[in-house]
Amino acid sequence: MNKLLLTLATLALVFSPISSQKAFGIWNDLTTKYASAGIVDLNTSNSTASFVNTGFTFPSNITSSTYNYANGLITYVATEISSGIPHLNTIDTNTWRLFNSSKILNMNLTNLAYDQTNVAYNLFATITTGDGYLYVIKISASDVDYKVIDKIPHVFPNATGTYLANSKLYTVCYENTTISTNCNYYGLDGSVLTREDFQATNLAYPWVSISAPYLMQYLPKQQATICVVYLENKSYATFVGRYQFFWVGSNSQLVNTGWIKSNDLARDNYGYLFSDFSLPRVYQFGMDNNGLYPYMQSFSTYTNQWFRTQRSNNFVLNAWAYI
């Protein structure tokens, strides 16, 4: 009987769905506002700081940050509180020490994405300098030296980018002057491979898409890309906006999969979406508009439904599952 119970227990462990359990994450300390990094428990939704970047803060919940699975480095843009100058900071999660910190001068640096290598210029990113162009670059995290690989004219600020790990492509999606969404794809060497014009589909009237994607993120488990777009309701005299999840699909379509449905993300502040390595799940942290209650939401990409909301001890802005 004991052997039978042991066998059944073992089978339950093997076949029961188990989440990634842990993730590396970044957030602002709720008291000091200092940029922090550490371990996020995806079961309890709580996080523990392993490194505090004293004197630096993330100025908004839309932070530019990335993780390199090849060497365990987290790189992010944070603002020095005393001077107001943004820095490109890198910490080593193997030792939880500051690896490098460099000033970012005369440009707005966004959409960081490691190409998951250890070479010198292994960071994709975008920059704007006030001349009306969006520059796509490969940058060295150690000294903020960069190489321009593409120059896109007449781009509004709300561009978004992510690295498609399985296909080894960096994609940048942006809104042009015709209020359509364009996506460019770049190879590992920085070469421009393809350009696509995307249209939002599967939207019921009176909702229409009015923005380029935000918070675009690649999901390794699903081998898919998700994003958030801003919608307007044409049935109101004064337009009412909300955010909605979309897949960046094939056939040049931003596909509304029914994510969020009646939930209105615009009511709260929220951070990046990130995926589970083991289960068809996506997580997102948020904070109520009063700044009192951080929480974590869990979404099933199998059922296309939010299934859990948990109170959290920190408003995690971005995270990367690793177990």
- The predicted-structure confidence for 198-225, as pLDDT tens digits, reads as follows 777 777 777 777 777 778 888 777 777 8
Spatial CA neighbour of 60 closest among 77, 46, 48? 77
| 16-72 residue pLDDT tens | 345 558 999 999 999 999 999 999 999 999 999 999 999 999 998 888 999 999 999
150-162 pLDDT, tens digit each: 999 877 666 788 8
Statement: the pTM of the whole predicted model exceeds 0.85: yes
Flag whether pLDDT at 3 surpasses 80: no
Using pLDDT thresholds of 50, 70 and 90, give the confidence band for residue 2: very low
Distance of CA 279 to the CA centre of its chain: 18
Q: Is the pLDDT of residue 13 over 90?
A: no
Confidence check: pLDDT of 260 > 60: no
Q: Kindly tell me if the per-residue pLDDT of 81 is higher than 90.
A: yes
Q: What does the alpha-carbon distance between residue 63 and residue 287 come to, in Å, rounded to a whole number? A: 15
What is the distance between the alpha carbons of residues 147 and 169, in angstroms, rounded to a whole number?
17
